[in-house]
Each structure stands twice: as C-alpha cells, then as structure tokens.
Chains A and B, each alone.
Chain A
Amino acid sequence: MNRNSFDNEPYLVEQLKIGRKEAYSHLFQLYHQELCNYMTAISGDPKAAQDIAQQTFIKIWDNRSKLKIGDNKLKRYVFKTAYHLFIDSQRKRNKESQLLESLKQQAYLDMIEVDSSLFEERLQRVEREIENLPEQCKKVFILSKREGLKYKEISEQLHISIKTVEVHMARAMKRLRAQLASFL
C-alpha cells in the first residue's frame, strides 16, 4: 500500500493532526454514513444522530493537535467520541448510571469492531426474525420501527387500540431480543 495514501491509517491520522482538509473529507467518506446509522440506532432520533455526527467531526478537528489514536483504533476513536457526546448531552452522574453506561458503551463499541460481513449477517438474522413474527405483530412492528409511525397512527391504520399496539410491540421486542441475544 502506498505509504502516503489516506487508506493508510497512520498517514491519515498524521494528516488529520495537521488539519489537512482532504484528510477530513476522507474521514467523512469513511465513517459519516455508518456513524449516523449507529447514532440513530442508539438515540432513536435521526436528526439528533446527524447533529452528533457533525459535532464529532468538529470535536476531532478542535482536538487535532492532541489526537492520540492507537494503531487501527481510528474508527473506535471516532465512534467513542460520538458516544461521549451523546452521553454528555444527558444527565447521568450517579454510580449506577456510570457502571451501566460503561457496559452499554462497551456493548456498542464491540458492535463497530465486528467485520462488516458478520455485521451484515446479523442484520439479516434480524430481518429473518422479524419475518418470523406472528402476522399482526409483524405488521405493527414494521410500521413502528421501519416506517416510524407513532402508536396512535398505527392504531388508526390497523383499526386496533393503542393498548393492543403496545402489546404487539412488547411481544415483538421480547421475541427478537431472546432470539438475537442467543446468537450474539
């Protein structure tokens, strides 16, 4: 590999440190999409996810002269920075939260480090499990999670009560979680 290519991570980090705009452009190309997906999954809010992604890159720029990134840890560094921004925006100060948040963070960061084919496989597994949900349960779940409808909108569209929507969602999540946790 060409030593002076942005694909060479140590070189990229070096160029990020000296504030070369092209290096930042490359960093965006590398991680912006995934970071937005990742933060949306965590925060449940695409708009907030985009804001955090933006703040992350700006923060890296601000700290560029002090960047300390281990070998092949750039991705982890970027995602960790984003996650910290997300946590900082919430008020979590007691010891209970600190332990749980750090476990949560480890869990999330583990997810970015699995290689993309395994990650794809896991996502496909999720899709399969969703397909296997009972019919009405599946409908409700897809309208909520994939199409982002509110429970009230789902209840109107499917002519069922909000309570029933809640029950379906709880059942779907319980089942998915049980199936997924067993293969992770």
Chain B
Amino acid sequence: MTKLDIRRIITRYINQEASQEELAILYEWVKKGNNKDVFKKLVQADFLVNYEDKSWETEEAFEDFLDAIQDKGHTSVRTLYFPQQLWKYAAIITIMIGSSLYFLLTQTTNPSSNPIHMDMETNQITLQLDNGEVLTIDPESDGTLQSQNGDTQVSMIQGVLTQKEKKAKGRITNNTIKVPYGKSLSITLQDGSTVMLNSGSSMTYPSSFEGMETREISLTGEAFFEIAKNPEQPFIVKTRKMHTRVYGTVFNVSAYEEDEISEVVLVEGSVGVGRSFEGENHTIQMLEPSQKASNSLENKDLFTVEDVDVSSYISWTKGILTFENEPMHKIIKRLERQYNVRIENQSEELEERQFTGMFDEEDIEHVLRTIQAHTHFSYDKKDDLIIIKKPNKQ
C-alpha cells in the first residue's frame, strides 16, 4: 500500500465514493500506528477546503421551526421530510419487477386463493431445505437449528441468518427462505454476500456456490444485497421478468409480483439488466449510478432509462417508508406489505392522488391519519382489514 493509494482512498471515502473493498483497506490501514491522527487531519484539511462562510436565512428557519413544533402540538403524528439527496451516495440499486397478478387475486373474495397471502398467513419466517424440511426462523432470538438429517445447521445471530452444510456434497442443494408481510430478515450466503429481505419476499439460493460458473439466486419481492466481490464468478439475481448481472458490489432488488412496471435503480457500481426469458448472458441495458431502467409496457424490447433520486427506493432497509409523488394505489400496496394488513380502497378519486412523505416506524393508523390530514377520506379498521371510504358528505 503506497502513501498515494491510501490518500486516494481517503479522498474517495470523504466524498462518499469508496467501495466496500476500499473501505476494508482503509479500515486495516487506520488501525495501524498513528494513522488515526493522520486520517483525522486529512478529514479536517478537506473540511477546511470545503468550508465557506455563507449567509443563511436564520430568521426564516426559526419561523419554520415554530410552525413545525406548533404542528406537533395538534397531533403526535410525525411526518419526516429528511434531506433526500443524501441517499444518492449510498451504494445500492433497486429493482422493481412485477405483474398485474396481485390485483386479480385480491379482487377475489376468498383470500386463500392468493398464494402470497396464504404463505403470509403463517406470519413466520420459514426456510425450506432441499429435502423438503421446513424450519421456522425467529429473527428476534438468537439460536441454532439443525435439520433432521443433521446435514444442515442454521444459526441466527443478532438478526442475521447463516447456514452451514456439514459436509461438502457433490450436488448443489437449494433452499427457499420466505419472509411474511410485516417482517424482514438478513441472511449471509456461503460466499460471504449478505442479503436483507423485505416483507413479503422469498428467495431461493444454493447452500454453496462452489464449483458453479455463476452465483445465481432467484427472488420474488424485495431485497438489499451486499455482494462479495468475485470477478471470476458473477452474481446473478433472477426474477420472473428480469435478471440482473452484478459487476459492482452493493445493490437492492425489488421484484414483487403485484407491480406492473419492472424497475432497476442503480446507485453505485455497475449492473447489467436483461429480460429473464433471454438468458443471463443477454444484457440489454447497462446502468449508471442514479439511473433507473423500467420495462416499457408498449414496447417489450425496450427499457426506458431515466435519472432518479434513489432515496425512496432504499429507505426500507432502515425501516423507513418513503413516498415521493406516489399515487395512492401504489402506497396502499406498500402499506399492505409493510404492516401485514389488507386495504380496500372504495374512493376512486383517491386512487391516483399523489403523496410525498416519510414515516419512521409509525404504526399504520398514524400513517393513514397523516395522509388524511392532506386529503379527505374516512376509514374503518377491523382486525387486519382496512376499508377506505369517500368522505361523508354533510
């Protein structure tokens, strides 16, 4: 490690551009000798270079503050308007894929005809092993489970699931993990990559990637990936309509079946996106950071690419629900997943109304009441069913 290299990495780190790998190098370096002081001085030097004495609207800010605390007096509901642009530095991509399947299913009166809901009704995270055995996982309590044949050992440590096979077998064993609505789970794969699964998601993955040309997993729902770098063995995320080939290291995939538009958002690094039916080697679109690729409904051969603010796509990993100019019908779907409820909207005019907001661990009623404060509707909540109605005309 030359002096120049480490300075370059520090600069990238301060600019929030460092990769996981550079972060690891920096971490090892900073622990040695008096490097901590060197690091701090470089941080301070950068701070001074960037520092400017500007004039800010203190009076106005104070007025806004008074308004903000005034609003709090009326209601305990808190809508956070956090600086969204900060997210742009996070090294993540988001992929959203889906179909109209969900709508057809929810319109039926029999909830058991919906396979998603049926699975989710167990309300438990389950891990199905290759031999068909199903283990129930509780992310809240640490512990170790063993499969009946003793080949597989599954440990839960501080909310992260790890799986060990007793002996390396000649064949690949596949596992399926299912996370119900209202829950999420982190899992470490055999290659060291970590995956955080959002509510209502399932993922199929091999116990080991050894001896395979590529590292492949399939996903329904949404997940945040931190992929261990291995250029020899690309990582591929397969979903029903798209596959994503990973060249960089960290990204987020969302592939719920109920959304019509499929989307890929990249924040840092590099990914290629292609259609599922064409095989993993056929990449249609390479993405640059802060770009979103969506499948086009009119022309199936095209992905539309646009620049986006990625914050609202990744805030779920912090337990924050973000909407940015999102129509109510989409918000409803996300609320259903997050809170494990069913929401029936009887107000047609509300369907397309757009809302922007951010909720940090509020309960579902707080969220609804906050939206209510900006528009007019009433709702009834019975157990896990919420019915949104037009306002009562006086």
Binding site for B on A (CB under 8 A): 21, 24-25, 28-29, 32-33, 36-38, 40-48, 50-55, 57-58, 61-62, 85-86, 88-91, 94-97, 99-100, 103-104, 106-108, 110-111, 122-123, 125-126, 145-146, 173-174, 176-177, 180-181, 184
B394 CB, nearest partner CB in chain A, Å: 36
- The reply on B382 being an interface residue by CB < 8 A is no
Residues of B within 8 Å of A173, CB to CB, are 11, 46, 49
- The reply on B38 being an interface residue by CB < 8 A is yes
- Complex CA gap A143/B213 in Å reads 49
Given contact pairs A51-B83, A103-B40, A126-B49, enumerate 7 new A-B contacts (beta carbons under 8 Å): A32-B58, A41-B51, A53-B61, A110-B40, A110-B44, A111-B47, A176-B49
Residues of B within 8 Å of A123, CB to CB, are 48, 51, 53
Number of A-B contacts (CB under 8 A): 158
Q: Are B82 and A89 in contact (CB under 8 A)?
A: yes
Question: What per-residue 1/0 map shows which CB atoms of B15-49 lie under 8 Å from chain A?
Answer: 11000000110110011000010111111111111
Q: Are A55 and B82 in contact (CB under 8 A)?
A: yes
Residues of A within 8 Å of B148, CB to CB, are none
Q: Are B82 and A37 in contact (CB under 8 A)?
A: no
Binding site for A on B (CB under 8 A): 7, 11, 13-16, 23-24, 26-27, 30-31, 36, 38-56, 58, 61-62, 64-66, 68-69, 72, 81-83, 85-87, 89-90, 92, 314, 317-318
- Complex CA gap A41/B42 in Å reads 14
Closest to B55 in A: A33
Known: A28-B62, A37-B52, A145-B49. A48 touches B44 (CB 8 A): no
Q: Are A24 and B317 in contact (CB under 8 A)?
A: no
21 contacting pairs across A/B (C-beta < 8 A)? A28-B61, A33-B56, A37-B54, A41-B50, A44-B50, A47-B83, A50-B61, A52-B83, A90-B16, A95-B27, A100-B27, A103-B43, A107-B44, A108-B43, A110-B44, A111-B44, A126-B51, A173-B49, A176-B49, A177-B7, A177-B45
Checking B51, B54, B65, B87 against A28 with a beta-carbon cut-off of 8 angstroms, the contacting residue is B65
Residues of A within 8 Å of B81, CB to CB, are 51
B47 CB, nearest partner CB in chain A, Å: 5
Checking A32, A85, A91, A100 against B56 with a beta-carbon cut-off of 8 angstroms, the contacting residue is A32
Q: Are B55 and A104 in contact (CB under 8 A)?
A: no
Q: Which of B45, B55, B85, B89 gathers the greatest number of chain A CB atoms within 10 Å?
A: B45
- Complex CA gap A120/B30 in Å reads 29
B58 CB, nearest partner CB in chain A, Å: 4
Q: Are B65 and A24 in contact (CB under 8 A)?
A: yes
Residues of B within 8 Å of A48, CB to CB, are 83, 85-86
Residues of A within 8 Å of B83, CB to CB, are 43, 45, 47-48, 51-52, 89
- Complex CA gap A100/B83 in Å reads 23
Closest to B186 in A: A93
Known: A51-B83, A54-B64, A176-B49. A181 touches B26 (CB 8 A): no
Residues of A within 8 Å of B56, CB to CB, are 32-33, 36-37, 50, 53
Checking A41, A50, A145 against B47 with a beta-carbon cut-off of 8 angstroms, the contacting residue is A41
Q: Which of B16, B30, B64, B83 gathers the greatest number of chain A CB atoms within 10 Å?
A: B83
Q: Are B49 and A122 in contact (CB under 8 A)?
A: no
Residues of B within 8 Å of A55, CB to CB, are 82
Q: Which of A33, A55, A177 gathers the greatest number of chain B CB atoms within 10 Å?
A: A177
- Complex CA gap A6/B278 in Å reads 70
Closest to A89 in B: B86
Q: Are B58 and A29 in contact (CB under 8 A)?
A: yes
Checking B41, B72, B86, B314 against A86 with a beta-carbon cut-off of 8 angstroms, the contacting residue is B86
Known: A41-B47, A86-B86. A100 touches B30 (CB 8 A): yes
Closest to A30 in B: B58
Residues of A within 8 Å of B39, CB to CB, are 100, 103, 107
- Complex CA gap A29/B57 in Å reads 11
Known: A28-B62, A90-B89. A37 touches B43 (CB 8 A): no
Known: A51-B81, A96-B26. A28 touches B45 (CB 8 A): no
Q: Are A89 and B46 in contact (CB under 8 A)?
A: no
Residues of A within 8 Å of B54, CB to CB, are 36-37, 40, 46
Residues of B within 8 Å of A45, CB to CB, are 83, 85-86
Residues of B within 8 Å of A28, CB to CB, are 58, 61-62, 65
Closest to B53 in A: A37
Of all A-B residue pairs in the complex, the 5 with the closest CB atoms, nearest first, are A180-B45, A48-B83, A96-B27, A107-B40, A51-B83
Known: A36-B54, A45-B85, A126-B48. A100 touches B26 (CB 8 A): yes
Residues of B within 8 Å of A96, CB to CB, are 23-24, 26-27
Residues of A within 8 Å of B23, CB to CB, are 94, 96-97, 100
Residues of A within 8 Å of B92, CB to CB, are 91
